[in-house]
Amino acid sequence: MTVFKTFLKVLNKCKAPLILYTVILIFFGGFSLKTNEVNTSFNAYLPDVYINNLDENAKITENFMTYLKKVSNVVLLDEEDISDALFYRDINIAITIPEGFNRDFFLGRKPKLEIQCTGDYASSLVNIYIEKYMQVANTYRVLASSEEELLRLINGNLDLKTNVYLKTSLDTEAMSKATTYFNFTNYCILAGCIFGVCFSLFSFKQKNIDDRIRISKINYKKYLMQLFLSTFVFAFFLWLLYVLLGFVLVGKIMFTYHGLIYIVNLFLFTLCALSIAFFLNQVILNKDTINGIVNVIALGSSFLCGAFVPVQFLPDFVLKIARILPSYWFIHVNELTTSLEKINLITLKPIWQSMLVLSLFTCFFFLMSLYVKKRN
């Protein structure tokens, strides 16, 4: 118990970074997991649009704006904020309806709409909407006998919608948010475990303290075992804390089999992070370098394996390199869980295989730390 108490005392000195990692996780979780509504029907993507109407608000102009409001989120902004809003993707596209648009349209002059866009998927989608509307409107202009009939024909046409059937029983949006949370825990667990364990064990490793312990009446093997258990208890509480936070932030999914997979996977990764911490504790010779090493390993793994940036946005060569890191397999299991429709032995196979690889990493780092300790 003496060893455990001392371990806790030393650990208490480095509580600030551990609290910081947890606060970042809560902040991140709260920021990205805002909605918790069950969503199992198809919802069309709504791009964010700013409209600057320089024309009179009548007939075709008004009708066009009403259409845009149906297919997108129309955002209200001050004109001087548009450039920043576009750059920071607060809006996907800014549309300027020129003066005389309504008049020119009815005169058959095919007036153009000026746009400024981000060039991403969402802005391309709005482009499609604009072209579609204008093409339909221009075609019916030839056909309609009055302006009222024209607007009626346009609206009747644009109201036609294809049936979209969502072939899943999963709440895909909520699942992907849960995955985002657990992927982010990669950074917190890795940084927290390595920093806490290395910082605490380093105090016991100092020569004068180690010598005092060796000549004391305490059984050295027993002491090492107590130290090992202390670190395990610390890692266990870290895991428990992030799981409980998961229940608060992620919600209902945590009570399903999918939630259980996330929890088990996080536990295996915590063990792996602990083994990495043991190994680093054996090779780090200067206490001042712990912070740098923690930052490089935790940030590096998180950036390369998809904890910060979604896996689908990472280049293939980065993902290939990332396979040599345990974080990759942890995040891989989370990603597989996102789309796990049915749970049976066949669908679970890639999940337990990845978990096995993660466990092999754990064994490897434990054995390496034992080897280095023995050699030292």
Partner 1 sequence: MFKHNFIYTLKILGKNKVLIFWTFAFPIILGTFFFLAFSDIENNEKLDVFPIAIVENDNFNSRMGFKETFEVLSDDNNEDKLFDVSYVLEEDVALEMLENKDIVGYILVLDEPTVVVAKSGINETILQVTTDQILSHEKVLEDYIRKNGNSRLENFVKVMMDDYSYVLDNSNKNMSYTMVEYYTLIAMTCLYGGTLGLTALNQNLANMSQRGKRIEVSPSPKFKVVLSSILASFLISLIGLFLLFLFLVFLLKVDFGLFGGHVVLLAIVGNLAGLAIGVAIASCFKVKEGTKLGILLSVTMLGCFLAGMMGITMKYVVDKNVGWINMINPANLITDGFYSLYYYDTLTRYWWDLLGLLIFIGVMVIVSVLALRRNSYDSI
Task: State which of positions 39-68 bind partner 1 (CB under 8 A).
Answer: 39, 42-45
Choose the stretch contacting partner 1; rule: CB under 8 A; options: 156-164, 206-214, 239-247, 354-362: 156-164
Choose the stretch contacting partner 1; rule: CB under 8 A; options: 2-10, 112-120, 239-247, 254-262: 112-120
Long-range (24+ apart) CB contacts under 8 A made by 67-74 are 67/129, 67/133, 67/158, 68/95, 68/126, 68/129, 71/44, 71/46, 71/129, 72/46, 72/47, 72/48, 72/126, 72/129, 73/46, 73/47, 73/48, 73/49, 74/49, 74/50
**Based on CB atoms, which residue is closest to partner 1, 130 or 178?**
130
Which residue from 128, 233, 248, 363 is in contact with partner 1, where contact means CB under 8 A? Answer: 128
Binding to partner 1 by residue 33, rule CB under 8 A?
A: no
Binding to partner 1 by residue 90, rule CB under 8 A?
A: yes
Give me the least distance between CB of 34 and partner 1, in Å please.
13
Which residue from 36, 116, 203, 256 is in contact with partner 1, where contact means CB under 8 A? Answer: 116
Give me the least distance between CB of 268 and partner 1, in Å please.
24
- Cα dihedral 269→273→278→282 (10° resolution): 140
Give me the least distance between CB of 194 and partner 1, in Å please.
16
Which residue from 75, 134, 240, 340 is in contact with partner 1, where contact means CB under 8 A? Answer: 134
Binding to partner 1 by residue 295, rule CB under 8 A?
A: yes
**Based on CB atoms, which residue is closest to partner 1, 165 or 221?**
165
Binding to partner 1 by residue 245, rule CB under 8 A?
A: no
Query: In this structure, what token pair is assigned to residue 346?
Result: 């066949």
Choose the stretch contacting partner 1; rule: CB under 8 A; options: 178-186, 191-199, 224-232, 307-315: 307-315
Long-range (24+ apart) CB contacts under 8 A made by 247-250 are 249/26, 249/29, 249/30, 249/33, 249/181, 250/29, 250/33, 250/174, 250/177, 250/178, 250/181
Applying the rule CB under 8 A, the residues between 2 and 31 that interact with partner 1 are: 24
Which residue from 22, 52, 127, 353 is in contact with partner 1, where contact means CB under 8 A? Answer: 127
Distance from first CA to last CA of the chain, Å, rounded?
27
User: Which strands form 93-97's sheet, in the order they lie side by side?
Assistant: 73-74, 48-53, 93-97
Binding to partner 1 by residue 106, rule CB under 8 A?
A: no
**Based on CB atoms, which residue is closest to partner 1, 139 or 206?**
139
**Based on CB atoms, which residue is closest to partner 1, 122 or 198?**
122
Which residue from 14, 245, 309, 372 is in contact with partner 1, where contact means CB under 8 A? Answer: 309
> Cα(154)–Cα(60) distance, rounded to whole angstroms?
10
Query: In this structure, what token pair is assigned to residue 62?
Result: 């008004």
Binding to partner 1 by residue 230, rule CB under 8 A?
A: no
Q: How many CA atoms lie within 13 A of 284 on its CB side?
A: 26
Given a contact cutoff of 8 angstroms between Cβ atoms, the answer to whether 239 and 267 are in contact is: yes
Given a contact cutoff of 8 angstroms between Cβ atoms, the answer to whether 327 and 186 are in contact is: yes
Q: How many CA atoms lie within 13 A of 91 on its CB side?
A: 25
Which residue from 76, 143, 215, 345 is in contact with partner 1, where contact means CB under 8 A? Answer: 143
Given a contact cutoff of 8 angstroms between Cβ atoms, the answer to whether 177 and 301 are in contact is: no
Applying the rule CB under 8 A, the residues between 158 and 197 that interact with partner 1 are: 158, 160-168, 172-173
Binding to partner 1 by residue 215, rule CB under 8 A?
A: no
Binding to partner 1 by residue 118, rule CB under 8 A?
A: yes
